[in-house]
């Protein structure tokens, strides 16, 4: 017959084994709340992941659409009302999703669009060759 040793007198390893054995018998019960977690309850981590995924998908689609629309307007005059309206929408998109996009900031972005390098290449890939330069001209006209 084994002699009884209280839990607090056992080694740390023996205590962990004892607690692990106990937890296996609880099944789906949470030891703190003693209730089965519901799939319908609010889960902050899952909600944050869902919102992030929706934002990324929506942002990528919107950004692609912005560059595609400027690419489709390349043959028009950058000062035309339609093109200038698209620049206004781009400014609103940036303000809504990132930061307050003033005319000064938008003008700087326009310069970056046509500044060459990877940024220009990616815009031209989405909207077609010359889209970055066209967008830059349209933004400069919009910002005055």
pLDDT single digits (tens) 54-91: 666 655 556 666 666 788 888 899 999 999 998 998 89
pLDDT single digits (tens) 82-138: 999 989 988 988 888 778 999 999 999 899 888 888 888 888 888 888 888 999 999
d(CA 138, CA 71): 12
d(CA 72, CA 96): 24
* Through-space distance between the first and last CA atoms of the chain, rounded to whole angstroms: 94
* pLDDT value, residue 39: 67
CATH pick for 54-143 out of 1.10.490.50, 1.20.1420.20, 1.10.1240.10, 3.90.1150.10: 1.10.490.50
- Tokens representing 13 are 């390893």
- Tokens representing 17 are 């084994």
**DSSP-derived secondary structure letter, 37:** P
Neighbours of 128 (CB within 10 A): 16
Q: Reply yes or no on whether the pLDDT at 144 is more than 90.
A: no
**DSSP-derived secondary structure letter, 38:** P
- Are 110 and 136 within 8 A, CB to CB? yes
């Amino acid at each position: 017959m084994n002699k009884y040793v209280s839990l607090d007198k056992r080694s740390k390893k023996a205590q962990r084994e004892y607690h692990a054995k106990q937890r296996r018998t609880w099944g789906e019960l949470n030891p703190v709340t003693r209730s089965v977690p519901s799939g319908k309850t609010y889960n902050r981590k899952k909600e944050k992941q869902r919102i992030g995924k929706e934002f990324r998908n929506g942002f990528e689609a919107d950004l692609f659409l912005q560059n595609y629309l400027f690419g489709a307007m390349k043959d028009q005059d950058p000062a035309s009302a339609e093109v200038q309206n698209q620049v206004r929408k781009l400014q609103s998109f940036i303000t809504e999703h990132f930061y307050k996009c003033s005319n000064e900031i938008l003008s700087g972005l326009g310069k970056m669009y046509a500044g060459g390098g990877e940024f220009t290449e990616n815009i031209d890939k989405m909207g077609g060759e010359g889209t970055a330069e066209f967008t830059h001209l349209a933004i400069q006209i919009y910002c005055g």
